[in-house]
Amino acid sequence: MDSSKEQSALEIVKRLVEKGYQALYAGGYVRDMLLGTGGAGDIDIATNATPTTVASLFPQVIGVGEHFGVMVVLKRGMPFEVAAFRSDIGIHDGRHPKKVTYTDAQHDALRRDFTINGMFFDPIAGRIYDYVSGRKDLGKKIIRAIGNARLRFDEDYLRLIRAIRFAARLDFAIEPDTWAALKEKAEGITRISPERILKEFDAILTGAHPGRALTLLAESGLLKLLLPEVAALAGVEQPPEFHPEGDVFAHTVKTLSLLDKPSRIEAWSALLHDIGKPGTKTVSDRIRFSNHQRLGADMAVRALLRLKAPNQLIEGVHACVDNHMNFMNVRNMRLSTLKKFLSRPTFEDEMELHRADCLASHGDISNYHFLREKQREIPVDEVKPPPLLTGKDLIALGFSPGPVFRKILGEAYDAQLEGKTNAKEEAIKWVKVYYPENSLL
């Protein structure tokens, strides 16, 4: 944990305690501290001070959820959520309670999601407050809902996905009654906003053990509700000589598991790279999925739009999925084509997808190493140099602006990438040779 963050959180707690209030670290920080995996996460603070009191004690406060007793205190430019101990009464919409009442730490713990997230820590006294046997479940490596599991999920259906995220990240089992309730309540996930679901998926896919999370999402029934395109991969057979790992779903699980600290684009691309296979499957001499990357790229865009993903993610995933089969051709590419391949904006994301994709199937990553070698061989400034010719140069040569410009400039740039022209004069000479004036009439 960043020492400045810990120091700032401690100062907030001390300020509240000095004024006669109880203030404790809550939730994930306490869990990770006990597991010895604390790091860059947030430090949330729970207190018996009201939001009004919190606002009066600190110079920089933002009311992000005052109705639910939640304020954000800014300390050294860092935000800390300071929430009043509360009890939730009733269920409003599968996300919010009908109303809240302020209470003490014990009753606050009882309204939280899972036992491992329901503990408090007093950083001044160095004392753990555990009213829900969270420490015991940490020892057992169990994800268990606090109290009535069905009620906990009804209070906020996003907890359905969170249970799976914690189980995957921590490599814990989900307690049987909690798992049964999760499956029973799966339909409730459709009441959660796409933005909140996307955020949970981001955490799952870029976190530890995403393949296990995907399996749990499928077994729970959540996957077919949220990403039916991915759920449809189960049972789609593949040619065993190329895919000894099994069907397309098994391959996707394995691909996700083999990613190395993936970016957001890499993770989503791995999840969605083969969703075009069910719609393109044919059987002739063997099972084939011709052009599944094209269909899959379009399907990936639709899936991410449904989740209200940002354009940068959508465009990056589309590029990765659409291009992932081109890696088989890299050794036969012309130098100009290879340079363009190396200069793609998503090249590094595509490389990580290719590496994991191959290791999850036939295991041959020789093309990956070939491309890394080409990166070392070709100077960076030669991979995507500025063009020697522009439209103005063509006009000066007597060409009239029009569709032919793009063709000439594209071929001239290829000649430049091939090393056939190395200066503007050579590029102009190339145009005169290959596009004499009467050839365009």
Instruction: Return the pLDDT at 398.
Output: 86
Judged by DSSP in three states, 385 sits in coil
- Site of tokens 């996003």: 158
Judged by DSSP in three states, 179 sits in helix
Judged by DSSP in three states, 316 sits in helix
Please give the average per-residue pLDDT across 234-255, as a whole number: 96
Share of the chain above pLDDT 90, in %: 84
φ/ψ of residue 65, rounded to 5 = -160, 50
Tell me, yes or no, whether 163 lies in a domain: no
Q: Is the pLDDT of residue 5 over 80?
A: yes
Arithmetic mean of pLDDT over the chain: 93
Tell me, yes or no, whether 177 lies in a domain: no
Tell me, yes or no, whether 172 lies in a domain: no
* Residue 263 CB partners (closer than 8 Å, separation 6+): 206, 349, 352
- Site of tokens 């209470």: 103
Weakest mean pLDDT among 60-74, 110-124, 311-325: 60-74
Over the stretch 260-292, which tens digit does the pLDDT of each residue have?
999 999 999 999 999 999 999 999 889 999 999
Instruction: Return the pLDDT at 7.
Output: 94
Pair (366, 402) in one structural domain: no
- Altogether, the residues listed in the chain come to a count of 441
Pair (119, 14) in one structural domain: yes
CA separation for the pair 303, 297 (Å, rounded): 10
Tell me, yes or no, whether 209 lies in a domain: no
Please give the average per-residue pLDDT across 105-122, as a whole number: 96
pLDDT band at 39 (very low <50, low <70, confident <90, very high): low
Pair (372, 236) in one structural domain: yes
Q: Element (H or E) spanning 82, and its range? A: strand 78-84
Instruction: Return the pLDDT at 438.
Output: 47
Residue after which a domain boundary falls, among 141, 158, 183: 141
Pair (48, 121) in one structural domain: yes
CA separation for the pair 237, 250 (Å, rounded): 10
The CATH number that applies at residue 100 is 3.30.460.10
Instruction: Return the pLDDT at 281.
Output: 95
Pair (313, 347) in one structural domain: yes
Please give the average per-residue pLDDT across 409-427, as a whole number: 92
Yes or no: say if 327 and 367 are a contact pair by the CB < 8 Å rule. Answer: yes
Tell me, yes or no, whether 153 lies in a domain: no
Over the stretch 328-340, which tens digit does the pLDDT of each residue have?
999 999 999 999 9
Tell me, yes or no, whether 365 lies in a domain: yes
Please give the average per-residue pLDDT across 300-313, as a whole number: 98
Q: Is the pLDDT of residue 293 over 70?
A: yes
Pair (249, 365) in one structural domain: yes
Yes or no: say if 157 and 192 are a contact pair by the CB < 8 Å rule. Answer: yes
Pair (115, 8) in one structural domain: yes
Instruction: Return the pLDDT at 98.
Output: 66
Residue after which a domain boundary falls, among 99, 117, 141: 141
The CATH number that applies at residue 352 is 1.10.3210
Pair (344, 429) in one structural domain: no
* Residue 335 CB partners (closer than 8 Å, separation 6+): 417, 418, 419
Tell me, yes or no, whether 154 lies in a domain: no
Pair (318, 401) in one structural domain: no
CA separation for the pair 111, 123 (Å, rounded): 22
Please give the average per-residue pLDDT across 311-319, as a whole number: 97
Pair (312, 367) in one structural domain: yes
Pair (413, 375) in one structural domain: no
Cα atoms found within 13 Å of the Cα of residue 298, Cβ hemisphere only: 7
Number of domains in the chain: 3
- Site of tokens 């949330």: 44
Residue after which a domain boundary falls, among 141, 164, 193: 141
- By DSSP bridging, strand 142-143 and strand 61-65 are unpaired
Instruction: Return the pLDDT at 22.
Output: 97
Tell me, yes or no, whether 108 lies in a domain: yes
Judged by DSSP in three states, 128 sits in strand
Structural domain of 271: 229-383
Q: Determine how many CB atoms are found less than 10 A away from the CB of residue 410.
A: 12
Tokens standing for residue 18: 């000095």
Buried b / exposed e along 59-78 (16+ C-beta atoms within 10 A): eebeeeeeeebbbbbebeee
The greatest distance separating any two alpha carbons of the chain, rounded to the nearest whole angstrom, comes to 92
Cite the DSSP H helix spans in 378-402.
380-383, 391-396
Pair (374, 233) in one structural domain: yes
